[in-house]
Copies of this chain bind each other. A is one copy, B any other.
């Protein structure tokens, strides 16, 4: 009997691995390597290439030309071939942060095959790495109690479909009978119900801030803000089709109109504190636009409002929607019982900077209270992770 009762030898282990599809090519290089001094070394095996570069948001920006004008794009740096035929580059010392990058091989943009950690942003997949310390620690998985992240579906009678959402419940939710406050956290144009947990590191941020006692334990609900879509690309019966930003029904009032169905689903299926004092809504870009309109449309619902680089644009366009009508009156109603926190944050280089400045002027002219936070940089995930890290500790206190 002994002969069939076994542990694998290391040879058979490798054999087993080889026989699996996994081992079409196992990374042989360490790349990227975050060094002790917070420089980062990139390595790439391309013996026949003439030129290998790395491009990413850890490098100084470069001007890029587009049909819409000149913009800051991610910079690049050249790798050099070492004596083993491997291309290498070591960055300057980097500030703690989560960074994205790609490799350019003779002008062709590819992912780093030594790094399995990648995130999708709309139609682009890039590699990521984290430099620890500060925000880098907040975005990392640490030895703290972890919440649960669920992908679930609710039915929307208004939109006539089942829709997918992401729910974070804090550590201890399962083992207690406590009720929790809820933050509704909305994504931007081109995003979906996966964006805040993947690009935004929302679960890590919440786990860490709650463990440090900086944020109250809370449920975070991340729905899909594209009212024409059931779910993220690849998660619907449309199949594995290319993602797009050219979706209908993103900022036409449909999402805002149906939003009470999301709240009702959450209050029915989770142990929430279902009142204004224990409900927050925040979003980035289009999600900031949604948060602005939802919080004003339902003035008794949200005591905490966060507009992160909100898409408040200077000109009325597109289909009219009852949601956007009587703006002044609705805003007056909202601020008649002002939210405990109305938080506006934007980067100084954001293309929505002026629109947000105009909106603040309006609030100022009416004497409506809000807190304003300006950060460096533009319309990028780095800012939205920072805003989430700063916003959540102010909630439900």
A residues engaging B (CB < 8 A)? 1-9, 11-27, 30, 46, 48-49, 55, 57, 66-68, 71, 73-74, 100, 102, 105-111, 113-118, 120-126, 128-130, 132, 140-143, 145-146, 148-153, 162, 164, 171, 174, 188-190, 231, 233-237, 239-240, 242-243, 245-246, 251-252, 269, 285, 311-319, 324, 327-328, 350-352, 355, 358-359, 362, 378-381
- Cβ-defined partner of A19 (8 Å) among B153, B171, B174, B351: B351
Residues in B neighbouring A7, C-beta threshold 8 A: 251-252, 313, 316-319
Would A189 and B25 be within 8 Å (CB), given that A7-B316, A362-B4 are in contact? no
Task: Tell me, in angstroms, the Cα distance from A114 to B108 when the chains sit together.
Answer: 13
Residues in B neighbouring A12, C-beta threshold 8 A: 313
Task: Tell me, in angstroms, the Cα distance from A337 to B141 when the chains sit together.
Answer: 45
Q: How far is the CB of A355 from chain B (nearest CB, A)?
A: 7
Chief secondary structure at chain A's binding surface: loop
Task: Tell me, in angstroms, the Cα distance from A316 to B145 when the chains sit together.
Answer: 38
Task: Tell me, in angstroms, the Cα distance from A170 to B164 when the chains sit together.
Answer: 14
Would A24 and B251 be within 8 Å (CB), given that A8-B311, A237-B140 are in contact? no
For A361, give the chain B residue with the smallest CB separation: B4
Contact A17 B122 (CB under 8 A): yes
For A132, give the chain B residue with the smallest CB separation: B239
